[in-house]
Amino acid sequence: MTLSLFNQFLSPSLMWTPLAAIALALPWALFPRQTARWVNNRLLSLQSWFLGQFTQQIFLPINNPGHKWALLLASLMLFLITLNTTGLLPYTFTPTTQLSMNMGFAIPLWLATVILGLWTQPTQALGHLLPEGTPTPLIPVLIIIETISLFIRPIALGVRLTANLTAGHLLIQLISSATSVLLSILPAVATFTITLLFLLTLLEVAVAMIQAYVFVLLLSLYLQENV
Amino acid sequence: MLSRLVFLAGSLKSSGPIGAGLVQASRSLQTSSQSLAPVPPLPEYGGKVRHGLIPEELFQLLYPKTGVTGPYMLGTGLLVYLLSKEIYIINHETIAAITIGTIIVYGVKKFGPSVAAFADKLNEDKMAKAQEAKDVAMSSLTQAIENEKKEQWRVEGRAMLFDAKRNNVAMLLETNYRERLHMVTNEVKRRLDYQIALQHLNRRMQQEHMINWVEKNVIGSITPQQEKESIAKCIADLKVLAKTTQAKAAA
């Protein structure tokens, strides 16, 4: 019987050693390194294919100076998608449910895009604060709104990922608790809740992958604006 | 997979943990080109597993002592032990585990073969491209060899070609010579014909001139008296003639 539903999100530690480090190192261990061979096994071929496709898709609309971010964004995507999907397994800790970690990803990367934009092309970067074709009386208001929107971006990035995953995990825990309790009392209702849990888990798998993709996609969009 | 671990362990240079550590320490990781080539071949397929999780080596290990059902009994016994001693407690996570487990198993069973085929196709396409490059190179080289042989055969027939050409030229020359000869004959004949025509003309003109002169002289020599006499004689002759014919006709 859990004391609190949020205990699953506590950063795990074993005798004061933070186990979150092991959880964070898991994606690195799951994907094999590139070999010097020309033809590899299935896992490595699929991995290279996936990374190639993903990088091409994301960087298609970005100018050439932005392509320096390819390694960063591709590895970020792989990292997030692995963390999210492995977090769906039982008894695992999902680091992306921690707001601290997601903000740790969002703020520096967003800030890097903003600074890059202001450094290399300040006029254009500031010009993004006013959309084209706005009527003249609306300009001051719109600039304020756009500035607020600009500064909300990192918070939105971080909180979006955290909230989605936390909510998903929480729901899974709630419904599975309900099922386990109902199994002894009303098994018929338990079948209904287990179906619900089944569908929810399917949704969570999709959400896990989509949220990671959205995170990286938005960062690439911010990069596209500023590079 | 476990067999591969054994293979790796056997390949370490010396026995004992310190020996292995010394070997690894003295050899810096993958800096010399020795580590790149020739690369030992990888096994083509992964280690065999049963039920997608448990390596076949466990079953082979337990087979002599416990037979076919040995590992299953081990698994069941272990599970029951964990449950009964409450080392593993059934809670909400178990239900979540069952759910995600079902989804994973279903996903792997349904999409596994197609994903594997796709990965195999990626590698096959890569190899097919290289193979095609090699095949194209080979076919172009064989084609070049055939072309060369044909050229050599053509060279053999060159003498015949020259003979034919020589014959051609000779015929042209001959024809030209004959034509010129013909032309010369014609020209000469023309000139001679001209001379003959000239002579004919001369003779005819002489004859005509003479005839004209003779006629003129004769007509001139006929005096008017002679003319009357001849006319009267002609009339008398005619009368006589007429009488004779009348007599003949009456008779």
Task: Report the chain A residue with the minimal C-alpha distance to residue B112.
Answer: A42
- pLDDT tens per residue across span B117-151: 999 999 999 999 999 999 999 999 999 999 999 99
Amino acid at B150: K
The mean per-residue pLDDT over the stretch B25-40 comes to 67
- pLDDT tens per residue across span B161-214: 899 999 999 999 999 999 999 999 999 999 999 999 999 999 999 999 999 999
d(C-alpha A41, C-alpha B43), whole Å: 9
Chain B partners within 8 Å of A36 (Cβ): 36, 39
Residues in Cβ contact with B73 at an 8 Å cutoff, skipping those fewer than 6 apart: B66
d(C-alpha B143, C-alpha B212), whole Å: 97
Burial A170-179, CB ≥16 within 10 A → b, else e: ebbbebbbbb
CB within 8 Å: B39 and A37 = yes
Q: How many CB pairs under 8 A join A and B?
A: 67
Asked if B42 reaches chain A (Cβ–Cβ under 8 Å), the answer is yes
pLDDT of residue B13: 47
Q: For chain A, what percent of residues have pLDDT higher than 70?
A: 98
How many degrees, rounded to 5, is the angle at CA A76 between CA A152 and CA A128?
Answer: 35
Please name the residue ranges forming H helices in B2-91.
2-11, 17-26, 56-66, 70-84
Asked if B39 reaches chain A (Cβ–Cβ under 8 Å), the answer is yes
Residue B9 has pLDDT above 60, yes or no: no
Q: Are A179 and B92 in contact (CB under 8 A)?
A: yes
d(C-alpha A209, C-alpha A80), whole Å: 8
Nearest to A158 by CA among A99, A71, A79: A99
Given its phi and psi angles, is residue A133 left (phi above 0), alpha (psi -120 to 50 degrees) or beta? left
Amino acid at B57: E
Q: For chain A, what percent of residues have pLDDT higher than 90?
A: 68
CB within 8 Å: A38 and B126 = yes
pTM: 0.69
* Mean pLDDT value across chain A: 90
pLDDT of residue B5: 55
Residue B1 banded pLDDT, cuts 50, 70, 90:
low
Amino acid at A173: Q
- pLDDT tens per residue across span A180-226: 999 989 999 999 999 999 999 999 999 999 999 999 999 999 999 89
d(C-alpha A193, C-alpha B154), whole Å: 88
Place of tokens 């337990």: B62
pLDDT higher at A202 or A10: A202
Residue B20 has pLDDT above 70, yes or no: no
Asked if B205 reaches chain A (Cβ–Cβ under 8 Å), the answer is no
Residue B14 banded pLDDT, cuts 50, 70, 90:
very low
Least confident among A218-222, B3-7, B75-79, B155-159: B3-7
Domain boundaries, chain A: 47-226
Asked if B126 reaches chain A (Cβ–Cβ under 8 Å), the answer is yes
The partner residue sitting opposite B92, judged by closest CB among A173, A198, A202, is A173
Chain B partners within 8 Å of A39 (Cβ): 123, 126-127
